[in-house]
Amino acid sequence: MTPPAEPPRISTGVDGLDSILNGGLITGRSYLVRGAPGTGKTILGMHFLEEGIDNGESALFVNLEESESDVRSNAASLGIDLSGVEFLDMSPNASVFVEDQSYDILAASDVEKEPFIESITDAVSEYEPDRVFVDPITQLRYLTPDTHHFRKQAIGFMEYLTANGATVMFTSQDTPDNPDDDLQFMSDGSIELDTQEMGAVIDVPKFRGSDTVDGTHSIRITDTGLVVFPELQPLTHSREFPNESIPSGVPKIDKLLHGGLERGTVSIISGPTGVGKTTLGTQFIKEAAGRGERSVLYLFEESYSTFRERNESIGIPISQMEEQGSLHVREMEPLNLSPQEFAQQVRDEVEGHDTKIVMIDGINGYQLAVQGGTDVLIRKLHALGRYLKNMGVTVVFIDEHRNVTGEFTATNSGVSYLADNIVFLQHVEMNGKLQKVIGVLKKRTTQFEHQLRQFEITEHGLKVGAPMTGTKGILSGAPESADSNRNSNER
């Protein structure tokens, strides 16, 4: 049996929203845009109409609140061109509002003589609009005696417009005194804009005739209009990649890891502050640059200048790698960033620049962008990590735990199950001197060395010593010699 043909669609004018709607709006239907003042409803409508004009369609803006001049001015401030859009100005200051005049929006044939309806029918007849934006339809409540009449008028309005071939987007103002539940039932779909603790969000709870991308998606109102960042759906992305190890370029680290970190895996490098976690991760990036591969590093907890100076002082040429295009460093401000927006940035790097290594430093800073508890953090990191793995990217998460010495902790964020590899660094006090050790706790795809080694950051780079076979109790915080006659030379 032949599956039914996909209904024709048109773009909303916002790429991210089109992705959520699996291609855009179905033509010839009506869609409700809900949200509190300032959430971007009118801006969305402007994009919708501008997109139609750009595609050679006709577009009509029925403005019931703001005047045409105000709407055009606001659009121009965002760089949205409404010059080709026709307006039916029914705002309170428009000439259509005459004292003691009655207004009805029932079937047009019943009220042809009424000036209000005549304005609408004349506009539709003259412009034959492919797209109509009504903002806000709830303004009609003030022109009707009761809710029953308002509902009949609104339904008649929508049916008249769609019967004449238009795709309609209309806004509402939902208030406790005047809820818009009735408008949700009469529309073919609803798009909800809201502001939550994590920032501005958009959701599509209803969309007749098609599936949509689930989740609460992020939005941002910029100086160029509305930008939508869909919730990341990792299972919809994949590509072929070789099954191979990514070496660090430091032989003893690669021996610990049985060759390095595998392509398309997630690794966590954990340890307390100052132990060298970021430097170790950056070592893999340096080696990748030598192979001509591109990496991107997101700094959530350290300034770019400090990061660059610290690494260049030990022979990792950050500036040179950036000039060559093999490294892109982004200093992030988590409180101004949603997880969806960050995921889109990562996708742009991977899909637009063929990035092979993504490093996030660190998980604690990223959690500020998530603005939720551990459960939310794990869900977001899981989706991001799964997407990157499917795309063959080697992922490095830096995780800082609180214990400088003493009781060992694998990770601090409860995300160890997400990792294919866990490499840990630890401060230890030995013979009255603070030293560092490195070890591998987990590796899913290959064997690894189960012993600890001394780890040092020198002016010439990373230095890793022989296995510490002569010492026990290192991770407990109370190391002691296991055999004073046994040296710790390399086996």
Task: For residue 30, give the CATH number of its domain.
Answer: 3.40.50.300
Which residue among 231, 253, 288 closes a domain?
A: 231
- What is the per-residue pLDDT for 144? 67
Query: Domain residues for 199?
Result: 9-231
Going from the first residue of the chain to its last (491 residues), give the mean pLDDT of each consecutive group of 10, the final group possibly shorter.
74 96 95 91 97 96 91 96 92 55 41 56 89 87 70 81 92 73 83 85 92 91 94 92 95 95 96 93 97 96 95 96 97 87 95 97 85 79 94 95 62 78 89 86 91 92 86 68 51 45
List b or e across 305-320, with b for residues whose CB sees 16 or more CB atoms inside 10 angstroms: eebbebbeebebebee
Confirm whether 486 is domain-assigned: no
- Is residue 363 situated within a structural domain? yes
CA distance 404 to 425: 10
The bridge status of strand 189-196 relative to strand 199-207 is antiparallel
**Rg, C-alpha atoms of the chain:** 30
Write down which residue in 206, 231, 256 finishes a domain: 231
What contacts 332, CB < 8 A, 6 or more positions away? 298, 299, 300, 342, 365, 369
Do 226 and 249 fall within a single domain? Answer: no
As given in the structure block, the two tokens for residue 407 are 């009781």
Check whether residue 78 and residue 175 sit in a common domain.
yes
Whether 37 is in a domain gets the answer: yes
216 and 283 inside one domain? no
Same domain, 226 and 316: no
> 397: which strand partners?
268, 360
Do 212 and 282 have their domain in common? no
The structural domain count of the chain equals 2
Q: What is the pLDDT of residue 403?
A: 63
**What's the pLDDT score for residue 483?**
59
- How does DSSP classify residue 236? G
User: Are residue 224 and residue 99 in the same domain, yes or no?
Assistant: yes
Q: Of 215, 231, 247, which residue is a domain's last? A: 231
pLDDT of residue 83: 94
> Is residue 180 in a domain?
yes
**Is the domain of 256 the same as that of 209?**
no
3-state helix, strand, coil in the chain (%, to 5): 35, 25, 40
Is residue 379 a contact partner of residue 370, using CB atoms and an 8 Å limit?
A: no
pLDDT for 478: 64
**Domain membership flag for residue 435:** yes
- Same domain, yes or no: 223 and 247: no
**Closest of 346, 446, 442 to residue 399, by C-alpha:** 442
Q: Looking at the structure, do residues 69 and 167 belong to the same domain, yes or no?
A: yes
